Amino acid sequence: MQLTSPRLRAALLAAASLTLVAAVVPPPKALGIGDALFPELGNPGYDVLSYDLSFAYKDNNSPLDAVTVIDARSLTRLETVNLDFTHGKVASAEVNGEPAGFASVGEDLVLTPARPVEPDLPLHITVRHTSDPRGRGDGGWVVTDDGLAMANQADAAHRVFPCNDHPADKAYFTFRVSAPAGKTAVANGVPGALPARRAGAATTWTYRTLHPMATELAQVSIGDSAVIHRTGPHGLPLRDVVPAADRERLEPWLKKTAGHIQWMEARVGRYPFENYGVLIAKARTGFELETQTLSLFESALFAGGGGYPEWYVESVMVHELAHQWFGDSVSPRTWSDLWLNEGHATWYEALYADGLGKYSLERRMREAYQRSDQWRAAGGPPAAPKPAAPGEKIGLFRPAVYDGAALILYALRQEIGAKAFDRVERRWVGEHRDGVAGTADFVRLASQEAGRDLATFLEPWLYGKKTPAMPGHPEWSAPKSV
């Protein structure tokens, strides 16, 4: 391409001089594990086993003091250890008990241990740092009217704490959160063995996960909250975290969760975690998020009155609940596998609404079919989405991976029949429980249950620019008016 304007030429020259500056900076450098959508996310050379995160919260206008302790195993010889981390100041770092050098490079924190770490050995990392909730627009801490919550999906956990920020490396988590008297802190998983501990004016709350978790699904809520306990199917502990002042008003919604879990279990089998509940935050996020065992909702969803109809709110609750199986217990191998999270959550959301008699699955899928080519043109096919534009992370969450991906599941069910489809769903969450799985794994499993190779059938649905013909609905492909 030829440069056609002085403006473009100036922009190119500016970019070229930036490249020159970057070129003289010696290593350390930012690394990633090669995710097509987030090339610098995650880090090679080690496997995290557990995170132990301590946060000291003062107020919404101050960075939190934090300590992140990581237990990992080296996979190769490491002269430097890259973590993903930004939006905090690092005070010190240790690797295997000895002080380590540290430098921020891009969104990586590069540690240089006193001596290289040999392969296949324990790797114990301690980083003392701050975690800054102020001025956020790119995920991580969510500032609420009365405290903080977390929304780390897809690539923002490392804007809260140093980590290997990719769902392919799941780990166990312990949280220790201290907050001023009167505030309540809650995190994923179960309360620690010790009750909340008071020291002076602050209380420290501890929680730990009983199942491995992706960094993107971590949740810490600090606020003027009520924590409401009840029991769900087969004794499952339910725990909701809501603004204390809204507790009674929200009760009719909170009561519904047990029924939603029963409904999901009848379709895909046992709920996969130690507990469940909803976290209702006074924040304007514009989204809800399936943080593991404690899904985040914005309070406006439950405002009632002239707001959203009840069937819609319930179907959104079921969407986040379905993610506990699809996306949380079974994590995506790469972010291009996001359709497996959102497609399934949308599928059960739509099935639930269908069951309420409000919006039939067939109508929803027919409408999705009519738009699917447009969605693919805008965002790429469901299993090979285009990267988000810089600074527009929400851009990954496009219709092609929601209803556009539910449409793939509908096509699969049409092709192999409802019984085989149900077996695929149950085996998927059963065999990959607490694990990581991707699109190729799904095609393989569907082929096994169908008793024939489905690659030729599924690939155009997953990767095609155009939406294939829908089995059983030739009329959907009829020429559209232009």
Contact residues: Zn ion, CB under 5 A: 342, 345
CB 75 within 8 A of CB 119: yes
Cα–Cα separations (whole angstroms), residue 266 to 293, 349, 352, 451, 470: 19, 15, 12, 24, 27
Distances (CA, A) of 250 to 273, 389, 457: 24, 37, 45
Whichever of 179 and 405 has its CB closer to Zn ion, that residue is 405
Compare residues 342 and 403 and give the one whose CB is closer to Zn ion.
Answer: 342
Nearer to Zn ion, 166 or 344 (CB): 344
CB of 328 to Zn ion, least distance (A): 11
Determine the residue with CB nearest Zn ion: 345
Instruction: Indicate the residue among 66 and 368 with the shorter CB distance to Zn ion.
Output: 368
Which residue's CB is nearer to Zn ion, number 84 or number 342? 342
Residue 479 beta carbon to Zn ion: minimum distance, rounded to whole angstroms: 33
Residue 236 vs 296, nearer CB to Zn ion: 296
CB of 152 to Zn ion, least distance (A): 14
Q: Are 290 and 327 in contact (CB under 8 A)?
A: yes
What lies within 8 Å, CB to CB, of 8 at 6+ separation is: none
Least distance from C-beta 315 to Zn ion, angstroms?
12
Q: Are 388 and 330 in contact (CB under 8 A)?
A: no
Shortest separation between residue 208's beta carbon and Zn ion, angstroms: 25
Cβ at position 211, least distance to Zn ion in Å: 19
| Beta bridge partner(s), residue 226 | 242
Alpha-carbon distance of 473 to 226, in angstroms, equals: 49
CB 293 within 8 A of CB 188: yes
Q: Can you tell me the distance from the alpha carbon of 285 to that of 146, in angstroms, rounded to the nearest whole number? A: 15
Backbone angles phi, psi at 278, to 5 degrees: -110, 145
Task: Pick the closer one to Zn ion by CB: 342 or 441.
Answer: 342
Closest distance between Zn ion and the C-beta of residue 290, in Å? 6
Residue (175 or 352) nearer to Zn ion, CB? 352
> What are the Cα distances from residue 254, in Å, to 228, 246, 258, 280, 366?
9, 12, 9, 10, 32
* Number of C-beta neighbours around residue 84 at 10 A: 28
CB of 210 to Zn ion, least distance (A): 23
Contact 102, 128 (CB under 8 A): no
